[in-house]
Amino acid sequence: MLALAPGASDVGPLAEVVARGRTVVLSGAGISTESGIPDYRGETGSLRTHTPMTYGDFVGSPGGRQRYWARSHLGWRTIARASPNDGHRAVATLQARGYVDGIITQNVDGLHQAGGARDVVELHGNLDRVICLGCQGTFGREELDRRLRAANPVFEAEATRINPDGDVDLPEEAVAGFRVVECARCEDGVLKPDVVFFGENVPKNRVERCYRLIDAADSVLVLGSSLTVMSGFRFVRYAAKAGKQVLIVNQGITRGDLYATHRIDLPLGQALTDLTAALN
- Domains, the chain, ranges and CATH? 12-278 (3.40.50.1220)
Catalytic residue of the set 50, 73, 88, 124:
124
The residue among 42 and 213 whose pLDDT is bigger is 213
Please report which residue ranges of the chain form alpha helices under DSSP H: 12-18, 55-60, 62-81, 86-96, 111-114, 141-151, 172-176, 204-215, 230-241, 268-278
Residue 239 neighbours by CB distance under 10 Å: 24
Task: Give the whole-angstrom CA distance, residue 214 versus residue 177.
Answer: 47
Share of the chain above pLDDT 70, in %: 92
Angle at 171 between CA 168 and CA 173, to 5 degrees: 130
Q: What pLDDT, on a 0 to 100 scale, did the predictor assign at position 40?
A: 59
Asked whether the beta carbons of 79 and 13 are under 8 A apart, the reply is no
Q: What pLDDT, on a 0 to 100 scale, did the predictor assign at position 165?
A: 75
Q: In what order do the strands lie in the sheet with 191-195?
A: 138-140, 125-132, 191-195
Using pLDDT thresholds of 50, 70 and 90, give the confidence band for residue 163.
confident
Q: What pLDDT, on a 0 to 100 scale, did the predictor assign at position 160?
A: 64
Task: Give the whole-angstrom CA distance, residue 25 versus residue 271.
Answer: 14
Q: What pLDDT, on a 0 to 100 scale, did the predictor assign at position 268?
A: 94
Asked whether the beta carbons of 249 and 236 are under 8 A apart, the reply is no
Question: Residue 264: beta bridge partners?
Answer: 249
In one-letter notation, the amino acid at residue 97 is R
Using pLDDT thresholds of 50, 70 and 90, give the confidence band for residue 169.
confident
What is the per-residue pLDDT across 195-209, written as a single tens digit (0 to 9) for each?
999 889 999 999 999
**Residue positions forming the annotated binding site:** 28-48, 106-109, 132, 135, 183, 186, 224-226, 250-252, 268
**Residue positions forming the annotated binding site for Zn(2+):** 132, 135, 183, 186
CA nearest 274: which of 266, 6, 162?
266
What is the per-residue pLDDT across 11-31, written as a single tens digit (0 to 9) for each?
999 999 999 999 999 999 999
What is the per-residue pLDDT across 122-155, written as a single tens digit (0 to 9) for each?
999 999 999 999 999 999 999 999 999 999 998 8
CA nearest 110: which of 66, 144, 141?
141
Task: Dihedral sign for Cα 43, 48, 49, 53, please.
Answer: positive
Q: 142: which residues sit within 8 A by CB, 6+ positions away?
A: none
For the residues 187-192, what does the mean pLDDT come to?
Answer: 93
Using pLDDT thresholds of 50, 70 and 90, give the confidence band for residue 48.
very low
Instruction: Judge whether residue 257 has pLDDT over 70.
Output: yes
Instruction: Judge whether residue 87 has pLDDT over 60.
Output: yes
Mean pLDDT, all residues of the chain: 90
Q: What pLDDT, on a 0 to 100 scale, did the predictor assign at position 53?
A: 87
Using pLDDT thresholds of 50, 70 and 90, give the confidence band for residue 45.
very low
Q: 205: which residues sit within 8 A by CB, 6+ positions away?
A: none
Instruction: Judge whether residue 1 has pLDDT over 60.
Output: no
**Residue positions forming the annotated binding site for NAD(+):** 28-48, 106-109, 224-226, 250-252, 268
Q: In what order do the strands lie in the sheet with 23-27?
A: 120-122, 100-105, 23-27, 219-223, 245-249, 262-264
For the residues 32-41, what does the mean pLDDT come to?
Answer: 81
Q: What pLDDT, on a 0 to 100 scale, did the predictor assign at position 84?
A: 97
112 assigned to active site: no
Task: Give the whole-angstrom CA distance, residue 123 versus residue 105.
Answer: 6
